[in-house]
Amino acid sequence: MSGAIRAFKTDRIPVFERGDKEYERSVATPNLLYRFARPEFVLQPETPAHVQAIIRQARAQNLVLTIKCGGHSYAGHSTAFEGVSLDVRRMNKTKLDMAAKTITFGAGCQWGHVYKTLINGRHNGFVINGGRCPFVGLGGFVLGGGLGPFSRTIGMGSDTVKEITIVTADGKLLMVKDTDSRSSNEGRLFWALNFGVVVEMKLAVKQLRALGGIVVAGRYQCLICSTRRTSCQRFYTTDWPERIAVDSKWICDLRVSSGNGVRFPTYFDGGKDDFDATIDQYVKHPELAKQLKRRSLPENSTRFLHPARDARRAETVKAFPTSKSYSIYSSFVFRNDRPTIERGTALIRDKVAAFRKAFSGERVEFLATFIHSGGKMSTPKPVDSAFFWREATDMRAFLGEAKRELRPLSLQGEAAVINFPVWIKVKFRW
């Protein structure tokens, strides 16, 4: 390893070894399941040329590389348990072109960096199809499909990709575009970008439908009872308008004495009057409809991004994550049909009850998160893009105890919120 470190330093690539402050910051994770991950060293390239040099040196010395951007992979796919951590966080430059309605950014950007360009330019009514969480890395989000607060209106994050610059396994720097012929090598690579290191992306900037750039957002949390559980099932089987997304999170928190709860984050592309009318039309539980309207407020789209940016800034100034909890997540993608929804929610209800009994007296929680998909995300056919699971309306992530029983209900028994390569043969072409 010492020879590799010398080679990287000769190429002026930032290298950090165990004990270095930046090494410890890079490998730290709020998910304590992976707290013992200790790669041999950490590389933080600053340019595509750095990445090319890293790939060539890794091939020459048979180094195992693990690519990391935001480190948000619940399954630990961005955590280096051995070999070298390729941390791209320094590649975080952004360039907004409102004339072309595109934004170009380095693979190390987090959504907070990108949202800042719209906030500073006061571009109300325009959005970049990014994540709900401002400190999520863009690379993994886009390559995994990408579910944002307005994806029901404008499609998945990957649907807005215009160009990708990638370093392939032989060290070549290539650019692939959404306009490349699907039968060409470039077109095939555009569908199989996890066969290299993505260093830069260009996404389309999308315009919201609402006049004046006004959106409505809010959050309501309450205790869950049988009537609200039935209301949740109706939520998941309702054919909602594309302009609205209502997520939900079932909460069994044994650290508090109250019963099980449910939280409803709301996002609406439009004004408050239209939002209220939509809730009245589609939510049949009077008290739930009342509270959703009461707890959701209108604001400019750039103002909507401000709290997210502040949260990101507060997190990044910390030397290490403060969360001391173990997290085990699994993800599933379900169709919007009543038998599947009823069976799935019944299984979750039973698992929550079993969890409360099994861990009585412990300071732990069980979460089931329903991410409202569908809408424009379901418009393309499964074979029209690299994200195959287009028929879904809800994508759920929750503690892995329920994984074995719920996996058969997922699309084709295997769908998850990651991007599966369609063109496997592309790896033989470059």
Structure tokens at 110: 């987090």
Predicted local distance difference test score (pLDDT) of residue 426: 39
Co-location of 82 and 33 in the same domain: yes
- Tally the C-alpha atoms within 13 A of residue 417's C-alpha that lie toward its C-beta: 29
For residue 383, CA distances in Å to 242, 374, 380 come to 22, 16, 8
| CATH code of 294's domain | 3.40.462.20
Co-location of 235 and 182 in the same domain: no
DSSP 89-150: TT---EEEETTTTEEEEETT-BHHHHHHHHHHHT-TTEEE---SSTTSBHHHHHHT----TT
Domain limit, last residue, from 210, 228, 252: 210
Domain limit, last residue, from 178, 193, 210: 210
In whole angstroms, give the CA distance from residue 267 to residue 278: 12
Co-location of 61 and 142 in the same domain: no
Is residue 430 assigned to a domain? Answer: no
Co-location of 147 and 33 in the same domain: no
Co-location of 218 and 188 in the same domain: no
Under 8 Å between Cβ of 335 and 393? yes
For residue 303, CA distances in Å to 33, 127, 297, 308, 310 come to 36, 12, 12, 10, 11
Is residue 287 assigned to a domain? Answer: yes
Is residue 427 assigned to a domain? Answer: no
Angle between helical axes of 338-358 and 226-237 (0-180°, round to 10): 140
What residues in the chain have per-residue pLDDT under 50? 308-319, 324-325, 398, 400-401, 409, 411-412, 414-430
Report the SS3 class of residue 261: strand
Co-location of 53 and 156 in the same domain: no
The tens digit of pLDDT for each residue in 170-226 reads 999 999 999 999 899 999 898 888 778 999 999 999 999 888 899 999 999 988 766
Is residue 79 assigned to a domain? Answer: yes
Is residue 429 assigned to a domain? Answer: no
Structure tokens at 192: 């199989």
Co-location of 111 and 126 in the same domain: yes
Co-location of 54 and 70 in the same domain: yes
Under 8 Å between Cβ of 53 and 347? no
Predicted local distance difference test score (pLDDT) of residue 316: 39
In whole angstroms, give the CA distance from residue 357 to residue 369: 21
Co-location of 201 and 219 in the same domain: no
Co-location of 219 and 367 in the same domain: yes
Structure tokens at 288: 């739930």
Is residue 419 assigned to a domain? Answer: no
73 — phi, psi (to 5°)?
A: -70, 115
Report the SS3 class of residue 399: coil
| Count: domains in the chain | 3
At 282, which helix (H) or strand (E)?
Answer: helix 272-282
Co-location of 70 and 147 in the same domain: no
Range of the domain at 292: 212-413
Co-location of 275 and 255 in the same domain: yes
The model carries a pTM of 0.81
